[in-house]
Amino acid sequence: MKVRVDDRLCQGHAMCTLACPELFELSDEDGHAFVRQADVPPELAEKIEQAVRGCPEGAIQTY
- Residue 51's CB: how many other CB atoms inside 10 A? 25
C-alpha dist (Å) from residue 47 to 1, 14, 28, 37: 13, 14, 23, 15
Which of 20, 42, 57, 62 touches ligand SF4 by CB under 6 A?
57
d(CA 5, CA 24): 9
Residue 19 in contact with other proteins, rule: CB under 8 A: yes
Residue 48 in contact with ligand SF4, rule: CB under 6 A: no
Q: Which residues bind ligand SF4 (CB under 6 A)?
A: 5, 10-16, 32-33, 55, 57, 59-60
Point out which residues bind other proteins (CB under 8 A).
Answer: 9, 11-15, 18-19, 26-31, 50-51, 53-58
